[in-house]
Amino acid sequence: ICWSEMGGWHRPRVQPYGPIALDPAASVLHYGQEIFEGLKAYRHADGSIWSFRPDANARRLQRSAKRLALPELPEQYFIEALRQLIAIDGDWVPSAPETSLYLRPFMFAKEAFLGVRPAHKVAFYVIASPAGAYFHGGVKPVSIWLSTQYSRAGKGGTGAAKTGGNYAASLVAQAEAAEHGCAQVLFLDSVEGKWLEELGGMNIVLVYKDGTLVTPQSDSILEGITRDSILQLAEDRGHTVERRRVSIDEWREGAASGDIVEAFACGTAAVVTPIALIKAADFEIGSADAEAGELTMSLRAELTDIQYGRRPDPHGWMLRLDA
Ligand code: PMP
């Protein structure tokens, strides 16, 4: 679907997958004016196809649009685009356990204009790709590299928006993590360099001995829909949930004293993945052969059971896409 300043949103259509023609002066290529979302379509045992909280993705896209000076896409257009894609490509939603069809809605500035101002012509697309487990080795606990040289987002920047520039800024840090044998990079805040932010593509949650779950509160991280859902499920079970600033020292000391007993990463792609080890240049937290945490794995099971229709959906999170 396209947008222009004069005409608003217009020309919704389904077209065969293939290259997009772009003017070499299109603003997205020069100034990175683009945003995206990521969510999945799940096949249930009866063959029906569902998505998980797509309304939350639609609203987050609207917040990202606001920050990147892009037009707001109405929620019903977002959902309709997913439905139309599934109507054509529903056969691509796999049925093997823990697989899904990853959906990637994205919006970009396509106006040919070399000046720096919000573009007057924009396009919104959705593409899809079948997905299996995100990390090699299924849900084996992962090692994470603590980046001290790079930060992902600055104060007043675009950290809370899902925009390509944030990921571009994280690529060298992610490559550094891989060189150290780590699956993801952990970023700290850019002002004091001590508060936990998030991983390259996931949020983080710490579990304390008394069952409290703590997750970083920051206006420069992406508000994950997986994190919000997991924390809701934990609250339903009676756990205390704290969204607050949490420092790397608190994690280090809490892990050493036995106060922090589990840590996990969460996001649409990784679902919920236990963290075994944090590796920094001059210290480590945990150990590479640590077992997956019990609460981590049971919250993961509860969430995936809801997503795959294996247990009731008490919060009305699932939306059927193929009917
Ligand atoms: N943080 C970042 C930087 C991400 O890319 C993602 C994945 N979208 C998340 C957090 C988790 O968000 P969600 O649970 O909505 O996928």
Decide whether any atom of ligand 1 lies within 6 Å of the 203 Cβ.
yes
At residue 134 the predicted structure's pLDDT band, cuts being 50, 70 and 90, is low
Decide whether any atom of ligand 1 lies within 6 Å of the 222 Cβ.
yes
Confidence (pLDDT) at 159:
97
Tell me the percentage of the chain whose pLDDT exceeds 90: 94
CA pair distance 26, 222, nearest whole angstrom = 27
Asked if 273 and 134 count as a contact pair (C-beta separation under 8 A), the reply is yes
Residue 103, beta-bridge partner list = 39, 128
> Would you say residue 136 has pLDDT above 70?
no
Decide whether any atom of ligand 1 lies within 6 Å of the 202 Cβ.
yes
Output 151 or 71, whichever has higher pLDDT.
Answer: 71
Per-residue burial over 252-288, b = 16 or more CB atoms within 10 Å of its CB, e = otherwise: bebbeeeebbbbbbbbbbbbbbbbbbbbbeeeebbee
Residue 116 has a CB neighbour count (10 Å cut-off) of 9
> Would you say residue 135 has pLDDT above 70?
no
Decide whether any atom of ligand 1 lies within 6 Å of the 215 Cβ.
no
Q: pLDDT of 75-131, one tens digit each? A: 999 999 999 999 999 999 999 888 999 999 999 999 999 999 999 999 999 999 999
Output 153 or 158, whichever has higher pLDDT.
Answer: 158
Give the mutation target among 36, 61, 187, 202 for probing the ligand 1 site: most ligand atoms within 8 A of CB. Answer: 202
Rg (CA), the chain: 20
> Would you say residue 174 has pLDDT above 70?
yes
Confidence (pLDDT) at 270:
87
Give the mutation target among 218, 222, 225 for probing the ligand 1 site: most ligand atoms within 8 A of CB. Answer: 222
Place of tokens 């007043």: 156
CA pair distance 32, 109, nearest whole angstrom = 8
Confidence (pLDDT) at 314:
97
Confidence (pLDDT) at 84:
97
Q: pLDDT of 155-171, one tens digit each? A: 899 999 999 999 999 99
Confidence (pLDDT) at 133:
66
The tokens for 98 are 């823990």
Global ipTM: 0.99
Decide whether any atom of ligand 1 lies within 6 Å of the 201 Cβ.
yes
Cα 115 to averaged position of ligand 1 atoms, centre (Å): 31
Torsion of CA 283, 285, 287, 292, to 10 degrees: -160
Decide whether any atom of ligand 1 lies within 6 Å of the 27 Cβ.
no
> Which class would CATH give 2-131?
alpha beta
User: Which CATH number is correct for 142-307, 3.10.400.10, 3.40.50.970, 3.20.10.10, 3.30.70.3340?
Assistant: 3.20.10.10
Confidence (pLDDT) at 97:
86
Mean pLDDT, range 264-270, rounded to an integer: 95
Q: pLDDT of 1-33, one tens digit each? A: 999 999 999 999 999 999 999 999 999 999 999
Q: pLDDT of 285-323, one tens digit each? A: 999 999 999 999 999 999 999 999 999 999 999 999 999
Confidence (pLDDT) at 222:
98
Cα 172 to averaged position of ligand 1 atoms, centre (Å): 18
Mean pLDDT, range 267-296, rounded to an integer: 95
The tokens for 87 are 């109507």
Confidence (pLDDT) at 132:
84
Q: pLDDT of 211-266, one tens digit each? A: 999 999 999 999 999 999 999 999 999 999 999 999 999 999 999 999 999 999 99
Cα 38 to averaged position of ligand 1 atoms, centre (Å): 8
Give the mutation target among 39, 51, 203 for probing the ligand 1 site: most ligand atoms within 8 A of CB. Answer: 203
Phi, psi of 234 (to 5 degrees): -65, -40
CA pair distance 200, 173, nearest whole angstrom = 8
Confidence (pLDDT) at 69:
98
Domain positions in the chain: 2-131, 142-307
At residue 137 the predicted structure's pLDDT band, cuts being 50, 70 and 90, is low
- Residue 101 C-beta-side C-alpha neighbours within 13 Å: 25
